[in-house]
Amino acid sequence: MWVEDWALRAACKNEQPDQLFVRGAEQNKAKMVCTGCPVRTECLAEALDNQIEWGVWGGMTERERRALLRRRPAASWRKVLETARDRETEQVSVEA
């Protein structure tokens, strides 16, 4: 299920923005905030679909997001990520 009001549930909602919009090795620290975030997928889709250029979103840096956008420039990332998450959920259910 897709969460429309994802920002309210984000693991970073109480973080200082300066900690998420960093450069270099500091980006790895910022990405750690995303680990286990319940709305990581929604956050990443937001950044990709709106081509947000700065900061860590959904556990990815701007460089990592640009690489995805080059591979699939016309994709609806919400649809791509939602479909992938649904498939993963179905697979886990079948294995259980």
Residue 44's Cα: distance from chain center in Å? 2
Range of the domain at 83: 6-95
pTM for the model stands at 0.85
Tell me what percent of the chain is helix, strand and coil, each rounded to the nearest 5: 60, 0, 40
Residue 64 lies in a domain: yes
What residue has token string 């079948």?
94
Binding residues for [4Fe-4S] cluster: 12, 34, 37, 43
Question: Which residues is 56 bridged to in the sheet?
Answer: none
Is residue 1 in a domain?
A: no
Span 32-59, pLDDT tens digits: 999 999 999 999 999 999 999 999 999 9
What is the tally of structural domains in the chain?
1
Residue 67 inside a domain? The answer is yes
Give the residue numbers of the binding site.
Answer: 12, 34, 37, 43
Q: Are 32 and 68 in contact (CB under 8 A)?
A: no
Both structure tokens of 96: 């259980």
